[in-house]
Amino acid sequence: MAHRPATATHCPAWCAGGHQCTAWLGGGTHASTPEAWDTSTGRVVATRHRGGRRDWLELRISIKLPRDRGEESVVALMRMLVVGAVHSVIRILTAERR
Ligand SMILES: [Zn+2]
């Protein structure tokens, strides 16, 4: 296993460093401390990343699924949630660029 070099990588101010940051590895990324929001419908965890020439936001959304419905209904709900999430992201990014 590779060892982290003694000289620090130039981390951006938001990078959590430590085990969160793998920028010192070839192809690794800077990563913020994940922020989590617990809601009545589940949990959202957001982490900012920078690797190579890209910056991105990782969003992990955990949503409670009903257990009192048939499988077909749950699958349909999951598809609507994915489509709704993607449309929300596109709408926000499109509005932000105007
Ligand atoms: Zn870093």
| Structural domain range at position 91 | 65-98
Task: Identify whether residues 49 and 79 lie together within a single domain.
Answer: no
CA–centroid distance, 7 to ligand 1, in Å, is 12
CA–centroid distance, 30 to ligand 1, in Å, is 4
Q: For the segment 18-46, what is each residue's pLDDT rounded down to a tens digit?
A: 999 999 888 899 999 999 999 999 999 99
Per-residue pLDDT of the chain (98 residues; tens, 9 = 90+): 555 554 445 899 999 999 999 998 888 999 999 999 999 999 999 999 999 899 999 999 999 999 999 999 999 999 999 999 999 999 999 999 88
Task: Identify whether residues 5 and 40 lie together within a single domain.
Answer: yes
CA–centroid distance, 4 to ligand 1, in Å, is 12
pTM of the full predicted structure?
A: 0.81
* CA distances (Å), origin 19, targets 16, 39, 43, 48, 56: 8, 28, 23, 15, 19
